[in-house]
Amino acid sequence: MDFSTRAIHAGQGADPTTGATIVPIYQTSTYTQRAVGENQGYDYSRTVNPTRTALETQLAALEEAEYGSAFASGMAATAAVLNVLSAGDHVVVSDDLYGGTYRLFSKVLSRYGLTFSFVDLSDLDAVARSIRPNTKLFWIETPTNPLLKLVDIAAVSALRPPGAIVVVDNTFASPYFQSPLALGADVVVHSTTKYIGGHSDVVGGAALTNDAALHDTIKFHQNAVGGVPGPMDAWLTMRGAKTLAIRMREHEANARRVAAFLEGRDDVARVYYPGLASHPQHALALRQMRGFGGMLSFTLRGPDARAREFVRHTKLFSLAESLGGVESLISIPASMTHGSIPAAERALRGITDGLVRLSVGIEGVNDLIADLAQALDVTLEHATV
Ligand SMILES: Cc1ncc(COP(=O)(O)O)c(C=O)c1O
């Protein structure tokens, strides 16, 4: 079935007890049993809840996966997937990735006997060189946050040694524009807080796979560790996801226009957007993605201080962390989303203090461009064109 049909119908049949057309918010922690050991498939809501099950079915359908697990946040989903590993295992990770993922890997999981190599996964020779006998997992973010670099999912998956798995954080592209499982990945992770929820009103995460054994392990940890979303959050996420397709089309159309506008300004130094012909991996984007998404980054001409000044002057673009909501957001990754990466590491990766990131919303695009234009003009005196 078509993407939008799945988004609106998968897991969302009429409620069996009342006929309610919309899945109810089963706000219950427990379930009354007929007799000891005799229940209706539900015993305790950390383990299973009908509203969460509906969301898990919907999200699995969007990624064309057999199995889905929903979590309280994207980080909880990431941690649950990493739980498939054991002390002594080695992980190969994108060197450009969400700062919170970097923090979890380098500051938390490294204390549990896992080792991580942060590698430019767009360099396949570097990927091959980083593989060790104990490499068990490849963690890919593509497009990356915040530099919008791409990783060739099929090529990295082909390098995976036997017994190792490939996990793709598909948050930026969303399942509407990219299908990592079809390209050879074993698990897809989402921060559903972003495009899937789509309205900046709920935090959540998900892990989707076609591998029954992997799913069993992830489910086991979902229950054993307990990072599950409440029924209200599951319901809000499901409601948001119903309109993912139309929102993504609008995000992308607006982002393309904004990227072209920025690239056309003399006082903008560089624009990072996979949809631009100037993006070094534009050809890979055309091959691997069905669209380029709504995220872009750029640097201004002039000192880094100009960027800080610039983000103070936008009126429609709110200065805020996060992304993927219907409203436009602007941020300075080095001091906001990626502040947990040490300054020296950030500099090495090109995440400068002058890098500005946009989450282009679905407002009228002419209003968005006018907003950016006036903020650029206000700070023009700092530009060294
Ligand atoms: C690409 C990416 N992955 C994962 C996360 C973490 O998700 P959450 O904030 O829902 O825990 C984020 C959050 O910004 C993100 O941008």
Task: Give ∠ CA 202-363-55 in degrees, rounded to 5.
Answer: 30
Say if residues 91 and 139 touch (Cβ distance below 8 Å).
Answer: yes
The catalytic residue among 169, 186, 233, 371 is: 169
Residue given tokens 């892990």 in the structure block: 207
The catalytic residue among 46, 239, 242, 290 is: 46
Task: Give ∠ CA 156-213-157 in degrees, rounded to 5.
Answer: 5
Closest Cα to atom 15, ligand 1: which residue?
98
Q: State residue 178's pLDDT score.
A: 98
Catalytic: 98? yes
Tell me the best of 194, 323, 341 to mutate to test the pocket of ligand 1, counting ligand atoms within 8 Å of each CB and taking the most.
194
Q: State residue 385's pLDDT score.
A: 54
Please list the ranges in the chain whose pLDDT falls under 70. 384-385
Q: Is 158 helix (H, G, I), strand (E, B) or coil?
A: helix
Q: State residue 348's pLDDT score.
A: 84
Q: Which atom of ligand 1 is nearest to the CA of 77?
A: 11
Catalytic: 194? yes
Which are the contacts of 366, defined by CB distance < 8 A and separation ≥ 6? none
Alpha carbons 85 and 92: distance in angstroms, whole number: 13
Q: Is 272 helix (H, G, I), strand (E, B) or coil?
A: strand
Alpha carbons 103 and 111: distance in angstroms, whole number: 12
Alpha carbons 135 and 217: distance in angstroms, whole number: 19
Q: State residue 383's pLDDT score.
A: 73
Is residue 203 within 6 Å of ligand 1 at its C-beta? yes
Closest Cα to atom 2, ligand 1: which residue?
98
Q: Which two tokens stand for residue 236?
A: 């809000």
Residue given tokens 């078509």 in the structure block: 2
Other C-beta atoms closer than 10 Å to the C-beta of 176 total 24
User: How far is the CA of 24 from the CAs of 194, 237, 314, 318, in angstroms?
Assistant: 23, 13, 40, 33
The catalytic residue among 194, 219, 256, 349 is: 194
Q: State residue 85's pLDDT score.
A: 98
- Which one, of 110, 26, 68, 107, lies nearest residue 222 by Cα? 68
**pTM strictly above 0.75:** yes
Catalytic: 272? no
Say if residues 362 and 279 touch (Cβ distance below 8 Å).
Answer: no
Q: State residue 350's pLDDT score.
A: 85
> For 36-91, what is each residue's pLDDT tens digit?
989 999 999 999 999 999 999 999 999 999 999 999 999 999 999 999 999 999 99
Tell me the best of 139, 171, 189, 336 to mutate to test the pocket of ligand 1, counting ligand atoms within 8 Å of each CB and taking the most.
171
Q: Which atom of ligand 1 is nearest to the CA of 204?
A: 10
Catalytic: 169? yes
The catalytic residue among 26, 67, 98, 195 is: 98
Distance from the Cα of residue 331 to its chain's centroid:
16
